[in-house]
Amino acid sequence: METLTIDGLTLFFDAEEHDTAELAQDACEKSIQIIKEQWGLETPPEVRVYIMTSWLRFIFHSAPWYWQPLLVLSAPFWYFRVRNLWQYAGGWAQSYGKRRAIGVKPPRLIRLAKRGMGDRIFVRENTIDEKVRHITCHELTHAFTAHLRLPMWLNEGLAMLSVDRLLGKATVKTATLAALARSASSSTLSQVSTITEKNQDAVIYLYVRGYWVTRYLENVQPGLIKNLLTQPYSHAGLESKIATALDMDRETFWSSIDDMVVDHFSS
């Protein structure tokens, strides 16, 4: 594989994927600047970005050699899940200790992906090149935040807002606010720990709620999230600090926030 070094990252790609590598390189350079300025996060010690043409090759090439025997032994627990995910995802992020790795499909493979969930959430990109930039920025944000072990709602919200900054526009459909207006507000995003294809409505709700709540926090308390990303917190501790900053009761935070968000963005 060929490689490029980009602001402390290493980009891996096959020679025939050079055009996609150039897109990813540009997206990485701009995304790193956004992530550092917007969220105050520094580049992890080791980050690898792959133009991903095979999910299995990506998994094993991106892993340190001493992880590879463990991956083989644990394959029954992840092989079929990741193989199924390949049908839907344009890219994803992996962590191996301190190493962060993200994979981004080239345009020809992105076009083959099933878009069902994505079309319910995201404004469709103008071009396939824009989609590559979108995926690269989203997954790179995950690589920068992995050490913080954020609750999934904030983890996804940060990545989606980073993409907004990169592309200079809202990338989530305004119509998705209706999902919050219809929601069972007693549920909490803290209870959702994994994404599977069997709970598509829950996954969509998680992405939508994560995006709008994170965007709301940025609007009403600028700098709050950036300050909270300076050190790891427990999920409960992080959400308590957010509730306090909004002068809300921690116990009723998740049962109240949806209506507040909908009112804010609908007015």
Segment 139-154, tens digit of pLDDT: 999 999 999 999 999 9
Task: Give the mean model confidence (pLDDT) for residues 210-239.
Answer: 95
Confidence (pLDDT) at 187? 45
Contact (CB, 8 A) for 103 and 154? no
What is the spatial distance between Cα 267 and Cα 265, in angstroms, rounded to a whole number?
A: 6
3-class secondary structure, 93 = strand
Structure confidence by residue, pLDDT tens digits, 34-68? 999 999 999 999 999 999 999 999 999 999 999 99
Confidence (pLDDT) at 32? 97
User: Which of 126, 152, 136, 145 has its CA nearest to residue 38?
Assistant: 145
Using a cut of 0.85, tell me whether the model's pTM lies above it.
yes
All domains of the chain, ordered by start, with CATH? 2-266 (1.10.390.10)
Structure confidence by residue, pLDDT tens digits, 11-27? 999 999 999 999 999 99
